[in-house]
């Protein structure tokens, strides 16, 4: 069992750890000096689109999407929807693993084969998922302290180390809302995805009435971190240069050094980020396993073995980069994915549940 | 299929064992015929030459024979002679008993008039009598009495109470536990003079019949934890229990981990503090180490001595201990990762020095680090096994002379020797050395990952370790409880030693984790009526 606070921490950690990934999307999508505003818009969009998932979690306490989709949509359709949702999260695991491999090869270990990084992340994620939700909840407490601490210290050192210019943030909105909204599409997708883990983790959470507050606080809190990072990257590098960075967060860390002791801090940030991504892999694997297991009534152990095996095979393949990474950093594709998964599937399930008046029986599944 | 077959076979074997145990557990009543009972006893103690049977007549009456039975060396023979045998031989039987009193009348009168100074228990079976004899008690059999008196007259050699060897305090009590459980409980009772300090006695081991005590403060320790510990101790099914380590392994939550769910200490003040915080203690006879459970990760960085220090110093010491642990497991892998994969992190002058010193080494840095770490472990073990004076010399020769020679022979670089030596010294700075000695082993997988995959490898290994820690529970309490979820303010209380901690009825700790989560109702201190951690819960 996990508390609602732990649930919030899990959601927040999942989002904060990917900030170094989608921050470049904001800065590279022509938002320029309006990147912080794009971050605010993406946070608000994330809050709105996460609401259906939260509403379903509150309506059906003690079970995951796999459990209540069967009840709401009927057995065949419920299983199909659950398989799709589980598959979606599995794709995210693979995607994160490949992204991490790319960044590591680009920034630190140029000669290493990418499958080593991607494969180990999937396997360690599988191990984490096998430990269950309460272990991940406790791990999130530790990691969030570490991740947020490193971001705060890193930004503070960056501001102290180099000249900053707030004029880079002006003129505000001189090209209108278009570039801002376009830049915020991709982060909205990621924010919603992180928030949707509540569809599975609510099964571990006994106090379902407090779930909305915890999840919304997590989304807003991590949104603040994103805004801070966007402002930091813009006022230090300037809007043009920030757009050219593979990862502005890593570049921010790279400019920080302690003379005579350590020349680059980005390697340390990468270490913390590796921990965050691995946690994400564990979390998304767990979500897939719980959803699929509840829907098909197959033992979670066998589902986990199947999912980790498929994930490992996909993660070590290069074709994933072409078919997934290039598309999922494109706002058009991510918008469609968000609409398909979070609006049609999750929102549709909620709509059917409201129309038919179906509700969960209460928190009766204490075996989780 | 094989699993099912195996289960069926195991069930059959267990049923057979249970049947055999129940037949062994049958009791033989004493007959009242002195010769018959003595010969039954001699049969059981066949070829046990240290069994002593002294026969005499009670009150000079040849019709009333009696015998005392004991094991040589376990009682004070002179005292027994003086306080038991002599008074019985000289006893003038009171007239009220008449000429031919019943056995029970005689036994009762002897107990109340002749042996009032002895704590005696009347037993009626041969097996109970044997248990008493093996415990070091004196047993008295009287003709025509179908019961025996088992008297506590233990007087065997034990070492005196001394300062513990492994858990030394600069300021604080100088007393340490000894090998005798009863004395150890006394040391604890002197610190907690309360009727709520409960001491339950258990027998453990089919052959050793070891005396094990479960100690806790009623109303302070969680009932769930006490019940669970009692159940686990009852479930231990072995022939020999000769150390607390065995109990620690068998009663622990997860035996296959280097992180123990209970810690062992030789210090009565540490146990007293643990009990006051709501933990339970297990005393095992013949072992000076007492187990305290449940233990959490940060609890291993706390010692009773820290409560005797100024809180600034205590907090500093605790932070230093945590840093020392991190250094001991991470320093060498980080050095190897930096010199192998991440040269850009090292300032140029230092990098040039390291490169010059390590040029021409026969092995890569990672492999050399393995050799150095293993050698340091060998030196440490050699120093610990040898007598103190020789051990110190071996340590100095091993560390200094061999290290210097290895550098001069260009076998290892000086940087690596400095780093590995620092990590080893840091491992000595962790307070509960015995409990945390297994943690040192973590540096080997970390070293392997750092040598192969650099910082990425170390990060992945650390994540796996944290995941493992997060999955551990000790008596239902998370091992890695840092603070109640989301309450970062209490993280400081786990790491720092704040003055408020001295005033609370129960100090903060993950022992109360479940109460903090608001599952069961908040308990009250049984003596003061104050609620535990009330202000923290709301």
Query: Residue A295 burial (CB < 10 Å; 0-12/13-18/19+)?
Result: buried
Instruction: Decide if B301 contacts B318 (C-beta within 8 A).
Output: yes
Digit-coded pLDDT (tens) for B158-180: 777 888 877 777 777 888 898 88
Q: Return the percentage of chain A with pLDDT > 90, whole number.
A: 13
- pLDDT mean across residues, chain A: 80
| Banded pLDDT at A302 (limits 50, 70, 90) | very high
- Looking at every residue in chain B, the average pLDDT score rounds to 78
Nearest to A275 among B459, B480, B483 (CB): B459
Q: Read off the tokens for B488.
A: 């970062």
Q: Are B332 and B446 in a shared domain?
A: yes
Band of the pLDDT at A303, cuts 50, 70, 90? very high
| Cα dihedral A64→A70→A75→A81 (10° resolution) | -70
Q: Do residue B345 and residue A128 have CB atoms under 8 angstroms apart?
A: no
Assess whether pLDDT exceeds 50 at residue B520.
no
In a domain, A365, yes or no: no
Q: Is B419 in the same domain as B279?
A: no
pLDDT > 80? residue B5: no
CA gap A205, A136 in Å, rounded: 13
Domain annotation covers residue A175: no
| Length of chain B (residues) | 538
Measure B415 CA to nearest chain A CA, in Å.
15
Is B72 a member of any domain?
yes
What is the mean predicted confidence (pLDDT) over B60-73? 84
Residues of chain B above pLDDT 90, percent: 10
Most confident of B3-7, B157-161, B256-260: B256-260
In a domain, B408, yes or no: yes
Average pLDDT over residues B500-527: 46
pLDDT (tens digit per residue) in B196-251: 889 998 888 888 888 899 999 887 787 888 888 999 998 888 888 888 888 888 88
Tell me the nearest-neighbour CA distance from B70 into chain A, angstroms.
Answer: 55
Cβ–Cβ gap B467/A131 under 8 Å: yes
Q: Is A361 domain-assigned?
A: no
A 10 A CB-CB count for B31 gives 13
One domain for residues B205 and B239: yes
Interface predicted TM-score (ipTM) of this complex, two decimals: 0.86
Inform me whether the pLDDT recorded for B187 exceeds 80. yes
Cβ within 8 Å, pair B455-A6: no
- Which chain B residues are Cβ-neighbours of A8 within 8 angstroms? 486
Question: pLDDT-based confidence at B407, cuts 50/70/90?
Answer: confident
Q: Are strands B290-293 and B65-71 parallel, antiparallel or unpaired?
A: unpaired
Least confident of A67-76, B84-93, B500-509: B500-509
| Residue A97 confidence (pLDDT) | 87
- Provide the pLDDT confidence category of residue A262 given band limits of 50, 70 and 90: low
Q: Is residue B13 part of a domain?
A: no
Chain B interface, best mutation among A150, A263, A301, by max B CB count within 10 A: A263
- CA-nearest of B300, B463, B296 to A142 is B463
pLDDT given at position B485: 38
Residues 181-240 of B with CB under 8 A from A: none
- B514: pLDDT strictly greater than 90: no
Among A207-221, A351-365, B504-518, the least confident range? B504-518
Domain encompassing residue B503: 489-537
pLDDT of residue B26 exceeding 80, the answer is: no
What are the Cα distances from residue A116, in Å, to A120, A306, B206, B496? 6, 20, 52, 40
Distance from CA of B344 to the nearest CA of A (A): 7
Residue A97's SS3 state is helix
Same domain, B349 and B450: yes
| Per-residue model confidence as pLDDT tens digits over A87-105 | 888 988 888 888 888 878 8
**What are the phi and psi torsion angles at B495 (to 5°)?**
-85, -40
Pairwise CB contact (< 8 Å): B347 & A139: no
The predicted structure's pLDDT at residue B484: 41
* pLDDT tens-digit map of A232-249: 878 877 777 766 665 656
Which residue of chain A is at minimal alpha-carbon distance from B473? Answer: A135
Q: What is the edge-to-edge ordering of all strands in the sheet holding B138-142?
A: B51-57, B65-71, B138-142, B148-151, B120-123
Work out how many domains chain A is built from and give that number.
Answer: 1
Lowest mean pLDDT among A44-53, B79-88, B204-213, B258-267: B79-88
Distance of CA A310 to the CA centre of its chain: 21
Supply the pLDDT for residue A271.
Answer: 79
Q: Between A265 and B310, where is the model more confident?
A: B310
Answer whether residue A86 is part of any domain: yes
**Residues B268, B230 within the same domain:** yes
Do the domain assignments include residue A174? Answer: no
pLDDT for the residue numbered B20: 54
Question: What would the pLDDT profile of A118-153 be if each residue is shown by its tens digit?
Answer: 899 999 999 999 998 888 888 888 888 777 777 777
State the residue range of the domain holding A253.
Answer: 4-168+180-356
- For residue B537, the model assigns a pLDDT of 30
Report the chain B residue with the minimal C-alpha distance to residue A144: B486
> Can you give the pLDDT at residue A210?
85
Whether the upstream peptide bond of residue A171 has omega within 30° of 0, thus cis, is yes
Whether the per-residue pLDDT at B469 is higher than 50: the answer is yes
- Residue A33, pLDDT score: 81
Is residue B403 within 8 Å of residue B417, measured between CB atoms?
A: yes
User: What token pair was written down for A330?
Assistant: 């494109």
Of residues A232 and B394, more confidence is placed in: A232
User: Best interface-test mutation with A: which of B254, B341, B456 has the largest number of A CBs within 10 A?
Assistant: B456
Instruction: Assess whether pLDDT exceeds 50 at residue A352.
Output: yes
Which of B346, B455, B467 lies at the smallest CB-CB distance from A263? B346
Rounded mean pLDDT of A179-201?
82
> B341 and A109: CB-CB below 8 Å?
yes
Give A-chain residues touching B463 at CB under 8 angstroms: 124, 128, 274-275, 278-279
Query: What does the pLDDT read at residue A102?
Result: 81
* Whether pLDDT at B457 is above 80: yes
A139 to chain B: which residues are within 8 Å by CB? 466-467, 470, 480
Tell me, yes or no, whether B233 and B105 share the same domain.
no
Helix (H, G, I), strand (E, B) or coil at A1: coil
Task: Report residue B516's pLDDT band, with 50, 70 and 90 as the boundaries.
Answer: very low
**Other CB atoms within 10 A of residue B91 CB:** 17
More confident residue, B63 or B331: B331
pLDDT on residue A318: 76
What was the pLDDT predicted at B479? 82
Q: Where among B295, B329, B357 does a domain terminate? A: B295
Is residue B135 scored above 50 in pLDDT? yes
Which tens digit of pLDDT belongs to each residue from B480-501? Answer: 765 443 445 555 555 665 665 5
Q: Between vectors from CA B86 to CA B81 and to CA B91, what angle results, nearest 5°?
A: 155
User: Rounded to 5 degrees, what are φ and ψ at B261?
Assistant: -90, -5
Token code pair at residue B291: 């187990």
Q: Are residues B359 and B274 in the same domain?
A: no
If we measure between CA atoms, which residue out of B212, B352, B353, B363 comes closest to residue B280? B212
The answer to whether residue B305 sits within a structural domain is no
* Overall number of domains in chain B: 4
Residue-level pLDDT at A292: 92
pLDDT of residue A291: 92
- What are the CA-CA distances from residue A269 to residues A14, B85, B290, B446 (Å)? 16, 81, 43, 19
Determine the 3-state secondary structure of A312 from DSSP: helix
The mean-pLDDT minimum among A196-205, A328-337, B280-289 falls in A328-337
Q: Which residue's entry shows tokens 């005196």? A: B160
Lowest mean pLDDT among A156-160, A319-323, B18-22, B467-471: B18-22
Whether residues B379 and B415 share a domain: the answer is: yes
- Residue B538 banded pLDDT, cuts 50, 70, 90: very low
Q: What is the percent of chain A where pLDDT is above 70?
A: 83
A157-171, A214-228, B5-19, B411-425 — which is least confidently predicted? B5-19
What is the CATH number for A262? 1.20.1740.10
Residue to test with chain A: of B470, B491, B494, most A Cβ within 10 A: B470
Shared domain for B421 and B447, answered yes or no, is: yes
Asked if residue A364 is part of any domain, the answer here is no
- pLDDT score recorded for residue B218: 84
Q: Per the structure block, which two tokens stand in for A363?
A: 């928190």
**What is residue B492's predicted lDDT score, i.e. its pLDDT?**
57
- Give the CB-side neighbour count of residue B455, counting CA atoms within 13 A: 23
Examine the domain organization and report whether B40 and B189 are in the same domain.
no
Q: Test A127 with B347 for CB contact under 8 angstroms.
A: no
- A127/B467 touch (CB, cutoff 8 Å), yes or no: yes
Q: What is the DSSP string of B203-218?
A: EE-TTT-EEEEEEEET
Residues B414 and B521 in one domain: no
B78 part of a folded domain: yes
For residues B284 and B374, membership in a common domain is answered with: no
């Amino acid at each position: 069992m996990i508390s609602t606070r732990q649930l919030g921490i899990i959601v927040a950690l999942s989002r904060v750890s990917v900030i170094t990934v989608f921050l470049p999307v904001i800065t590279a999508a022509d938002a320029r000096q309006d990147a912080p505003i794009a971050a605010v818009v993406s946070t608000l969009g994330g809050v709105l689109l996460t609401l259906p998932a939260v509403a379903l979690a509150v309506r059906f306490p003690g079970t995951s999407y796999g459990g209540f989709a069967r009840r709401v949509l009927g057995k065949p359709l419920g299983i199909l929807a659950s398989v799709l949702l589980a598959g979606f999260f599995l794709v995210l695991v693979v995607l994160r693993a490949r992204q991490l491999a790319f960044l590591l090869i680009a920034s630190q270990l140029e000669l290493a084969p990418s499958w080593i990084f991607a494969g180990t992340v999937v396997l360690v994620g599988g191990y984490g998922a096998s430990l269950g939700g309460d272990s991940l909840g406790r791990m999130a407490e530790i990691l969030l302290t570490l991740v947020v601490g490193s971001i705060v210290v890193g930004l503070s050192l960056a501001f102290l180390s180099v000249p900053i210019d707030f004029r880079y943030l002006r003129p505000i909105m001189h090209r209108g809302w278009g570039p801002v909204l376009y830049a915020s599409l991709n982060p909205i997708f990621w924010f919603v995805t992180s928030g949707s883990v509540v569809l599975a983790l609510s099964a571990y959470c006994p106090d379902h009435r407090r779930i909305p507050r915890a999840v919304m606080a997590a989304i807003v809190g991590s949104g603040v971190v994103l805004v801070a990072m966007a402002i930091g990257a813009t006022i230090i590098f300037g809007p043009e240069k920030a757009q050219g960075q593979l990862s502005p967060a890593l570049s921010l860390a790279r400019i920080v050094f302690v003379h005579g002791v350590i020349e680059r801090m980005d390697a340390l940030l990468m270490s913390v980020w590796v921990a965050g991504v691995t946690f994400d892999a564990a979390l998304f694997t767990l979500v897939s396993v719980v959803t699929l297991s509840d829907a098909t009534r197959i033992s979670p152990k066998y589902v986990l073995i199947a999912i980790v095996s498929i994930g490992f095979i996909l993660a070590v393949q290069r074709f994933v980069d072409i078919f997934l990474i290039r598309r999922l950093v494109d706002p058009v594709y991510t918008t469609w994915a968000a609409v398909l998964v979070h609006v049609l599937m999750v929102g549709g399930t909620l709509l059917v549940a409201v129309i038919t008046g179906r509700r969960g029986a209460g928190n009766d599944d204490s075996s989780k | 299929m094989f699993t099912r077959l195996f289960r069926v076979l195991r069930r059959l074997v267990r049923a057979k064992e249970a049947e055999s145990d129940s037949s062994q557990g049958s009791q033989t009543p004493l007959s009242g015929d002195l010769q018959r009972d003595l010969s039954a006893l001699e049969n059981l103690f066949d070829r046990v030459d240290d069994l002593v049977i002294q026969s005499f007549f009670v009150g000079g009456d040849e019709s009333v024979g009696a015998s005392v039975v004991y094991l040589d060396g376990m009682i004070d023979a002179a005292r027994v002679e003086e306080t038991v045998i002599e008074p019985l031989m000289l006893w003038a039987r009171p007239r009220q008993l008449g000429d031919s009193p019943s056995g029970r009348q005689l036994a009762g009168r002897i107990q109340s008039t002749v042996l009032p100074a002895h704590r005696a228990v009347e037993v009626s079976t041969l097996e109970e009598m044997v248990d008493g004899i093996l415990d070091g008690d004196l047993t008295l059999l009287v003709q025509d009495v179908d019961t025996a008196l088992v008297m506590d007259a233990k007087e065997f050699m034990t070492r005196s109470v001394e300062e513990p060897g492994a858990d030394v305090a600069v300021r604080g009590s100088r007393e340490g536990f000894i090998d005798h459980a009863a004395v150890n409980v006394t040391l604890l009772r002197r610190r907690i003079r309360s009727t709520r300090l409960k001491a339950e006695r258990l027998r453990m081991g089919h052959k050793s019949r070891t005396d094990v005590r479960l100690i806790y403060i009623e109303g302070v320790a969680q009932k769930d934890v006490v019940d669970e510990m009692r159940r686990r101790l009852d479930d231990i099914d072995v022939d020999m229990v000769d150390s607390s380590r065995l109990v620690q392994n068998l009663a622990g939550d997860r035996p296959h981990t280097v992180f123990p769910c209970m810690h062992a200490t030789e210090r009565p003040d540490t146990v007293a503090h643990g009990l006051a915080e709501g933990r339970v203690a297990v005393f095992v006879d013949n072992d000076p180490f007492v187990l305290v459970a449940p233990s959490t990760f940060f609890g291993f960085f706390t010692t009773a001595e820290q409560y005797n220090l100024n809180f600034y110093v205590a907090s500093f010491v605790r932070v230093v201990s945590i840093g020392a642990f991190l250094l001991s497991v991470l320093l060498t892998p980080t050095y190897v990762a930096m010199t192998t994969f991440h040269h850009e992190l090292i300032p140029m002058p230092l990098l040039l020095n390291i490169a010059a010193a390590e040029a021409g080494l026969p092995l890569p840095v990672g492999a050399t680090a393995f050799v150095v770490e293993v050698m340091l472990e060998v030196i440490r073990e050699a120093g610990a096994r040898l007598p103190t004076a020789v051990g110190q010399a071996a340590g100095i020769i091993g560390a200094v002379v061999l290290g210097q020679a290895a550098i001069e022979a260009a076998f290892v670089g000086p940087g690596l020797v400095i780093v590995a030596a620092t990590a080893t010294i840091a491992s000595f700075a962790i307070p509960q050395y015995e409990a945390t000695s297994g943690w040192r082993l973590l540096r080997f997988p970390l070293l392997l990952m750092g040598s192969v995959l650099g910082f990425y490898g170390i990060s992945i290994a650390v994540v796996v370790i944290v995941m493992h820690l997060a999955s551990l529970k000790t008596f239902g309490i998370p091992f890695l409880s840092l603070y109640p979820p989301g309450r970062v303010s209490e993280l400081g209380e786990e790491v720092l030693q704040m003055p408020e901690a001295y005033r609370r009825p129960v100090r903060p700790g993950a022992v109360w984790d479940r109460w903090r989560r608001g599952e069961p109702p908040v308990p009250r201190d049984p003596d003061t009526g104050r609620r535990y951690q009330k202000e923290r819960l709301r």
